[in-house]
Amino acid sequence: MTKSLDESLSFFKDKVTDCIRSKKSIFVTTHIDCDGLTSGSIITKALIRAGANCTVRTSKEFSKNVVDSFKTDSRDFHIVTDLGGGFGKDLNETLGDNWIVLDHHQIPDEEIENPNVINAWKYGIDGGLEICAGGMAYLASMALDEKNSDLSSIAVVSALGDRQDQGERKSFTGKNFEIANTAKEQGLVEIDLDLLLVGRETRPLPDALAFTSQPFIEGLTWNRDACLSLLNSSGIQLKDEGRWRVPAELDEEEKRQVIESITKFTAGKNATEIMSELIGYTYTFPREDKRSFLRDGREFSTMLNSCGRINRSGVGMAICMGDRNKILREGETILTDYRKMIREYMNILSNERWRISESETCVMVNGEDIVPETMTGTISSLIAGSPKNSGKIVILRTKGEENTIKFSSRKSFGCKSDINLSDLMRAGAEKFDGIGGGHDAAAGAKITKDKLDEFLNYLEVNVVNVSSADSPQ
């Protein structure tokens, strides 16, 4: 019988306490995205505070090769965060009882009863909306010591990075709501309704609007001149004594003027949807320096994603764990480079129209030779965030290592399809000896290149030609 969440967290505490008492070494393996870096940082920080001998590393995916690498590893106990779903049997065979997975991705039925798998779905918690791996790691850290409640702020960044701010006006629900409230009560985060522009605390107003890509506003996103013109026509003051003002400095009347100007600009182009995406709850970290990109939770999460996606995970983890000196400047540079790369990839995809095929229900994107494997989730999310793709499923593919093809799928805003992308990608990948999974609204898969045509046919049958709910065939 499945344990309760509290029982599983107590089980985790017992395992870790035993490792510390017997001086066993612990190896933390986590994913490279924001949720991975935050969950890995939270659990590593909690372990260090508890006196554990631990090491942390990142991995862009979890596979049998990763499990096999544990066989030759000298560490005694393994904790896997934001990865590992579906590999319980392999981990049991390789490590016996010396492992724990802390995760929130949907898992196969056979893992429900495995006590070493501590996954949100086992306890009736929606891992796609109510908690992410960072939240699960936070709960595990609290089981070790309630003094770890200060790590709640990093768990908030985690949930933002995984786009779990899906409640009314971009609020949190479920466990995320509870964790955010803990951070708020401790003075670690301020939660307010505001304009959701990129770089709220750091970017000049025209840049902030131009770099806001979710929602993607045709004619404004990545077009600074158009944004400057729009803001000038709104009548608000853009500079203060020669210095560009940032979005956080706008008063309520000025925000209203900006909203009116954007609404006029987008008239007839999904204006209602765009405005619903542009106004919502913001999460500000008051203990970070003013005009620091770490003050805004969403920008913090984007920086972490950028670190992982361009192979600089260590920088992101160091910042999560408190480093605020030279490493912070590195993070800022990485974020700038990352945004530049995204802009280049999106421009190429929009200019080379042959790469995109659309149906009534789906947008298929061929990112081969353009989009790196580590960036598929980022780019598919951006395409899904474009108002012109509203209501559709977006599936992007690109080349992976060792003659593989990587797929990333997303449900766009307003998508009413009952297709579960996690089930779709897992079932499809397994048909062709690959791996896949994720969430109902965001999932991925990897197959070998020789199976590409068959996998595309599978998607054609199960997504492209499906107008409503159907199970993968």
Check residues 213 and 238 and name the one with the higher pLDDT: 238
Asked whether residue 211 is assigned to any structural domain, the reply reads: yes
For position 405, what pLDDT does the model report?
97
Q: Are residues 161 and 208 in the same domain?
A: no
Asked whether residue 446 is assigned to any structural domain, the reply reads: yes
Rounded distance, CA 285 to CA 297, Å? 7
For position 238, what pLDDT does the model report?
95
Rounded distance, CA 421 to CA 443, Å? 6
Query: Average pLDDT of 97-113?
Result: 94
Among the ranges given (33-47, 103-117, 260-274, 384-398), the one the predictor scored with the smallest mean pLDDT: 260-274
Rounded distance, CA 203 to CA 46, Å? 34
For residue 267, what pLDDT band results from cuts at 50, 70 and 90?
confident
Three-state DSSP at 426 gives helix
Q: Which of 280, 314, 334 is the last residue of a domain?
A: 280
Asked whether residue 301 is assigned to any structural domain, the reply reads: no
Does the pLDDT at position 469 exceed 50? no
Three-state DSSP at 49 gives helix
Rounded distance, CA 76 to CA 446, Å? 30
For position 468, what pLDDT does the model report?
46
Total domains present in the chain: 3
Asked whether residue 49 is assigned to any structural domain, the reply reads: yes
Q: Which of 165, 195, 218 is the last residue of a domain?
A: 165
Q: What is the CA radius of gyration of the chain?
A: 22
Q: What is the per-residue pLDDT across 149-195, written as a single tens digit (0 to 9) for each? A: 999 999 999 999 999 998 999 999 999 999 999 999 999 999 999 99
- Return the sign of the alpha-carbon dihedral for residues 63, 392, 307, 53: negative
Residue 140, domain CATH: 3.90.1640.30
Question: Residue 47: which residues within 8 A CB-CB, separation 6 or more?
Answer: 16, 26, 28, 54, 144
Q: Are residues 129 and 13 in the same domain?
A: yes
Q: What is the per-residue pLDDT across 162-175, written as a single tens digit (0 to 9) for each? A: 999 989 999 999 99
C-alpha torsion 352→358→363→367, nearest 10: -30
For position 3, what pLDDT does the model report?
81
Q: Are residues 159 and 262 in the same domain?
A: no
Q: Are residues 158 and 14 in the same domain?
A: yes
H/E stretch holding 17 reads helix 5-21
Q: Are residues 110 and 256 in the same domain?
A: no
Does the pLDDT at position 269 exceed 70? no
For position 71, what pLDDT does the model report?
87
157: its two tokens? 């960044």
Residue 446, domain CATH: 3.10.310.40
Of 54, 98, 56, 63, residue with least CA distance to 84: 63
Report the percent of the chain where pLDDT is more than 70.
97
Q: Are residues 39 and 148 in the same domain?
A: yes
What is the average pLDDT value for the chain, to the nearest integer? Answer: 92
Q: What is the per-residue pLDDT across 415-452, written as a single tens digit (0 to 9) for each? A: 989 999 999 999 999 999 999 998 899 999 999 999 99
Asked whether residue 340 is assigned to any structural domain, the reply reads: no
Q: Are residues 33 and 116 in the same domain?
A: yes
Query: Average pLDDT of 316-329?
Result: 92
Angle between helices 297-309 and 152-161 (to 10 degrees): 70
Asked whether residue 170 is assigned to any structural domain, the reply reads: no
Of 194, 195, 192, 226, residue with least CA distance to 210: 226
Asked whether residue 141 is assigned to any structural domain, the reply reads: yes
Q: Are residues 84 and 152 in the same domain?
A: yes
Domain containing residue 148: 5-165
Which pairs with CB-CB distance under 8 Å and at least 24 residues apart come from 439-443? Answer: 439/105, 439/106, 439/127, 439/128, 440/106, 440/128, 440/411, 441/128, 441/410, 441/411, 441/415, 442/128, 442/163, 442/377, 442/381, 442/409, 442/410, 442/411, 443/408, 443/409
Does the pLDDT at position 115 exceed 80? yes
End-to-end, the C-alpha distance of the chain in Å comes to: 31
Which pairs with CB-CB distance under 8 Å and at least 24 residues apart come from 106-113? Answer: 106/420, 106/422, 106/423, 106/437, 106/438, 106/439, 106/440, 108/426, 111/85, 111/86, 112/2, 113/1, 113/2
Tokens 């949907």, residue?
Answer: 106
Asked whether residue 86 is assigned to any structural domain, the reply reads: yes
Three-state DSSP at 16 gives helix
Q: Are residues 365 and 447 in the same domain?
A: yes
Q: Which of 165, 189, 211 is the last residue of a domain?
A: 165
* DSSP conformation class of 61: S
Bridge partners (DSSP) of residue 190 are 284
For position 471, what pLDDT does the model report?
43
Query: Average pLDDT of 216-227?
Result: 90
Of 145, 125, 131, 146, residue with least CA distance to 178: 131
For position 347, what pLDDT does the model report?
92
Residue 332 CB: number of other CB atoms within 10 A?
15
Among the ranges given (227-236, 270-279, 428-437), the one the predictor scored with the smallest mean pLDDT: 270-279
Three-state DSSP at 418 gives coil
Q: What is the per-residue pLDDT across 303-318, written as a single tens digit (0 to 9) for each? A: 999 999 888 999 999 9
Rounded distance, CA 439 to CA 19, Å? 33
Residue 151 CB: number of other CB atoms within 10 A?
27
Three-state DSSP at 253 gives helix
Contact 236, 250 (CB under 8 A): yes
Q: Are residues 221 and 157 in the same domain?
A: no
Q: Are residues 160 and 36 in the same domain?
A: yes
Q: Are residues 214 and 157 in the same domain?
A: no
For position 431, what pLDDT does the model report?
94
Tokens 């042959």, residue?
Answer: 354
Q: Is 225 exposed, middle or buried (0-12, 13-18, 19+ CB in 10 A)?
A: exposed
For position 22, what pLDDT does the model report?
96
* DSSP conformation class of 165: -
Does the pLDDT at position 472 exceed 80? no
